[in-house]
């Protein structure tokens, strides 16, 4: 069971900050305890290992992407592939912008999970990417998108979306809504039938 | 002066591998020496510090992207913005695919450089990105691309391009040429005037 109290949330936030700034492998439990101004031994009262912290962050981030995509697809109902892809892109931008640090740790550090946990996240990432692939495939099938390789197109769009975590600043010139509008437009057009 | 002999190239390759696998911050000079099966002291006969190794890798990778972009633009001559952007995208894919590990270290680890070196690379990255921005701006000005924010569009395309380093495998189903063809098409269409 993952502890969910306020103290544990604080620990996760500090861990996320340090994993983001220095990478998981370069961050020790002692670094995290020091940033929280507590003893390493006290930290171990809340978490069993450094990997448990990474797991909590990655698992929560994966869930945030999954739930946002679920909601996006539910809200579009029986809409066509174009609207569904727009909703998926918009949902992804919102999750990244709501917590760019955690999203960035999810995207870059999940590979440091060991064995079973790594396989679980690999599977969830693949299932998530499949929503994009299948939506593109559906759009191609009905002629809404040009014939293309759905896997490459999904990867192109998702890597651009994940890149937002590397440059987005809450105090920057672009609000999450403006970024979402631009990215929806760029993604839909990248699949569009007519070219100049 | 950066030493360029065979031994030094081998050191850079091993450092690049370890920085890629574990991150710069988590890799010690001792790790690199061990992977080379030499003593740490012998390694210091070739490099003054771990940061010098990162600098050598990042500097060489930045140069590879710059030279490829120069060549691409030279070869297209007075071609229009569409052809120039296609050439820039193709050149970028080639550099990433030629050494995905080093490209990945360049993209993710350059921020661990200190002070002046970090500023130099930030400037070179910005100048490189400006080629994409200006080409997009030129295309918009002559109506070849739809009116869009050139900075966002350039970032969208470049983060997707850099993402290739995270998934490309030399033994995978897609050759660098096929990836380049797809990415040129996706990038150009994302900026195209006509939408469905």
pLDDT at A140 over 80: yes
pLDDT of residue B3: 59
Mean pLDDT of A110-134: 95
On chain B, the residues whose CB falls within 8 A of the CB of A149 are 182
Are A182 and B153 inside 8 Å of each other by CB? Answer: yes
Q: What is the pLDDT of residue B195?
A: 47
What's the pLDDT at A195? 47
CATH architecture of B49-190: Orthogonal Bundle (1.10)
DSSP character string of A95-150: HHHH-HHHHHHHHHHGGGS-HHHHHHHHHHHHHHHHHHHHHHHHHHHTTSS-S--H
pLDDT (tens digit per residue) in B5-48? 888 889 999 999 999 998 999 899 999 999 999 988 888 888 89
Do the chains contact at A192 and B189, CB–CB below 8 Å? yes
**How far apart, in whole angstroms, are the C-alpha atoms of residue A14 and residue A36?**
7
Contact (CB<8Å) B160/A163: yes
Q: What is the pLDDT of residue B5?
A: 83
Confidence of residue B126 (pLDDT cuts 50, 70, 90): very high
Instruction: Find the mean pLDDT for residues A80-92.
Output: 96
pLDDT at A41: 86
How many other CB atoms are found less than 10 A from the CB of residue A62?
18
Interface of B with A in 159-178 (CB under 8 A): 159-160, 162-164, 166-167, 174
Work out the average pLDDT over B82-110.
Answer: 95
Residue range B67-75: mean pLDDT, rounded: 94
Q: In the structure, what pLDDT confidence band is assigned to residue B50 with cuts at 50, 70 and 90?
A: very high
CB contact at 8 A, A99 and A178: no
Q: Is A196 close to B195, i.e. CB distance below 8 A? A: no
Confidence at residue B92, expressed as pLDDT on a 0 to 100 scale: 98
Share of chain B above pLDDT 70, in %: 96
Q: Is the pLDDT of residue A134 over 80?
A: yes
- Is A5's pLDDT higher than 50? yes
Rounded CA-CA distance A111/A121 in Å is: 9
Q: Which A residues in the span 16-35 are in contact with B, Cβ-Cβ below 8 Å?
A: 22-26
With beta carbons under 8 A apart, name residues in chain A contacting B82.
196
Given a cut of 80, is residue A194 above it in pLDDT? no
Nearest to A49 by CA among A26, A32, A64: A32
Contacts of residue A148 in chain B, CB cutoff 8 Å? 182, 185-186
- pLDDT above 60 (res A1): no
Indicate yes or no: CB of B190 within 8 angstroms of CB of A187: yes
The answer to whether B193 contacts chain A (CB < 8 Å) is yes
Which of B:37-76 have CB within 8 Å of A?
Answer: none
CB of A155 less than 8 A from some CB of B: yes
Q: Which CATH class is domain A59-190?
A: mainly alpha
Q: Do A148 and B182 touch (CB under 8 A)?
A: yes
Residue A87 pLDDT > 90, yes or no? yes
Q: Is A153 near chain B, with CB under 8 Å?
A: yes
Q: What is the pTM of this model?
A: 0.92
ipTM: 0.90
Res B196 pLDDT > 50? no
Q: What is the mean pLDDT of residues A176-195?
A: 91
Reply yes or no on whether the pLDDT at B114 is more than 60: yes
Nearest CB neighbour to A25, from listed B23, B185, B194: B23
Q: List, as ranges, residues 77-136 from B with C-beta within 8 Å of A.
A: 82, 108
């Amino acid at each position: 069971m993952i502890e969910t109290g306020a103290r544990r949330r604080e620990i996760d936030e500090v861990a996320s900050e340090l994993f983001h700034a220095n990478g998981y492998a370069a961050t020790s439990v002692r670094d995290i305890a020091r940033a929280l101004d507590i003893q390493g031994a006290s930290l171990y009262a809340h978490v069993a290992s450094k990997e448990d912290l990474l797991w909590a962050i990655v698992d929560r981030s994966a869930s945030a992407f999954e739930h946002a995509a679920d909601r996006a697809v539910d809200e579009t109902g029986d809409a066509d592939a174009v609207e569904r892809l727009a909703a998926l892109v918009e949902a992804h931008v919102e999750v990244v912008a709501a917590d760019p640090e955690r999203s960035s740790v999810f995207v870059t550090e999940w590979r440091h999970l060991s064995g079973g946990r790594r396989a679980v996240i690999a599977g969830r990432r693949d299932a998530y990417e499949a929503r994009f692939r299948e939506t593109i495939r559906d759009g191609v099938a009905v002629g809404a998108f040009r014939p293309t390789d759905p896997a490459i197109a999904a990867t192109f769009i998702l890597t651009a979306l994940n890149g937002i975590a590397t440059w987005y600043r809450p105090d920057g010139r672009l609000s999450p809504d403006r970024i979402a509008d631009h990215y929806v437009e760029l993604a839909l057009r990248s699949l569009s039938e007519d070219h100049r």
